[in-house]
Amino acid sequence: MLRRRKWMFAVLAVLPTLAIFAWVRLYPIAEMFNLSLRDWDLLSPRRPFIGLENFIDLFDDRLFIAALINTTIIALGVAIITIPSAIVIAALIHSRAGSKLAPFYETAIFVPHVVSLVPAALAWKWIFDSELGPLNAFLGVFGIDPVAWLHNPTLAVLCVIVLCSWQALGYAVIIYLVGFKNLPVSLYEAARLDGASARQSFWFITVPLLKPITLYVSVVILISGFNVYAQPFVLASDTQGSPSHLVRVLVYDMIENSFSNFRIGYASAEAVILLSIVMIITVIQFSILRDRSGR
């Protein structure tokens, strides 16, 4: 009787959320798979089923491949820059945990993560400006010729990586700081008694113990890296006065195919591929975690 009442309450309480969830998440995800197998131009009432044709076309599409490569480079680049620097910075902040400056460190490093994306990207756009930007002015002090950061296809991708890393770093540092707080102090004391230097305990105790956190952070950063859109949109889309090199990323390509080229089915197929990439990353993370706990 009581169990039944509890069950009723649970179901009624969860029902609204479940309904919203089904409607704003499960249904569109299913619909995305459905559309990816169809040819639809947004305007026509007909949406003929064309099997895997969209996917076959995608792998023959220069722009999609370019977007896929750019996005992968950006996602990996951000992870490679952010994670090591976040560990070091979190370690340094942790070592000064009691100091009055610690809240300032945390705030300063974290602010880039919370400020609106677009203003931040606009600031960086000015920094990278080849004509007027402070970066070239700074390099000029050392006699380095001005570099056209946003015009060169390779450098433009690098600029996007720098901007994304700047924004992601704060997040990674905060999570690592939690990790540092949870490290067993006794282990370090034992290591010190054994004559290990600070650097040695960092490499041989801290880094391995933080592995689950590193894994988690890297997955979060990789996934958000694959979804990057606003940063290249602001930094490296075309503007009249100062055209820069367009850094095509997956989400950009999806939106262009949907709303400029009127190819909804095709864009949905891109979305399915994006989802597969994210799934693969997640599965890899879980299997590594399971390996560890299995041992």
Partner 1 sequence: MTATAEELAEGTRLRARKRRQRLMVDAGLLVFCVLMLMPLVFLIGNAFKTPQELLAWPPTIIPQDPTLENFRIALAETSLLRWLGNSIAFALSSTAAIVATSAITGYVMAKFPFRSINVLFFLFLATAVVPFEVYMIPLYFQVRALGLLDSIGGLLIGYLVMSFGIFLIRQNTIHSIPDELIEAARVDGAGELWIFWHIALPLLRGAMGALAVLAFFQAWTAFAWPIVVTSREQHYTVEVGLALFQTGYTVDTGLVSAASTIVLIPSVLVFVLLRRNFVQGVASTGMKE
Partner 2 sequence: MNTETTAKRGPAGRARGLLLGSALTASALAAVSATAQEITVLTGYPELEPFYEHVAEGMSAEYPDLVVNIEPISLREHERRVALGLTGGLDDGTVIEFASAGAQRFLEAGLLPAAPEDVAAYVQENFGEFFVDGVSYDGQIYGIPLFRGQSALYYNTEMFEAAGLDGPPTTMEEFTEYADVLTQRDDAGNPTVSGWSLRLSGGGQGIAEKFWINLHQFGGTVLEQTEDGMWRAAYASPEGVAALSQYLDNLYVYNTVTSEMPADAEAFEREQTAMFIRESWVIGDIAQNAPDLPYATSVLPTGSIALSQNLYVMGDGEAADAAWAFAQATTTEDNMIWLLENVGWLPNRSGLDYASVIETTPALDAFVTYPDDYAFFTLPAIGPIAEILTRLADQLTTAYADESLAGDDAAIMALLEEAAEETNEILDREGLLAE
6 part of the interface to partner 1, by CB under 8 A = yes
Report the alpha-carbon distance of residue 232 to residue 77 in Å, rounded.
14
Q: How far apart are CA 27 and CA 45, in angstroms?
A: 20
Give the range of 48-56, 63-71, 76-84, 93-101 binding partner 1 by CB under 8 A: 93-101
Token pair for residue 190? 């034992």
Provide, rounded to whole angstroms, the least separation between the CB of residue 210 and partner 2: 41
Contact 75, 219 (CB under 8 A): no
Q: Select the residue interacting with partner 2 from 11, 13, 19, 42 (CB under 8 A).
A: 42
182: exposed, middle or buried (Cβ count in 10 Å: 0-12, 13-18, 19+): exposed
Fill in the per-residue mask, 208 to 247: x = in contact with partner 2 (CB under 8 A), - = not in contact: -----------------------------xxxxxxxxxx-
- Give the separation between CA 224 and CA 172, rounded to whole angstroms: 13
CA 163 to each of CA 147, 230, 278: distance values in angstroms, whole numbers, following the listed order: 17, 11, 22
Site string for partner 2, 253-272 (x = CB under 8 A): ---x--xxxx----------
Q: Which of partner 2, partner 1, none interacts with 137 (beta carbon under 5 to 8 A by kind)?
A: partner 1
> 221 CB contacts (<8 Å, ≥6 apart)?
75, 78, 79, 82, 83, 168, 172
> Given the rule CB under 8 A, which of 96-104, 149-157, 172-180, 283-291 is the region that contacts partner 2?
149-157
Q: Which is nearer to partner 1, 98 or 208 (CB)?
A: 98
Judged by beta carbon distances under 5 to 8 A according to partner kind, the member of partner 1, partner 2, none in contact with residue 109 is: partner 1
We find the least distance from the C-beta atom of residue 184 to partner 1, in angstroms, to be: 16
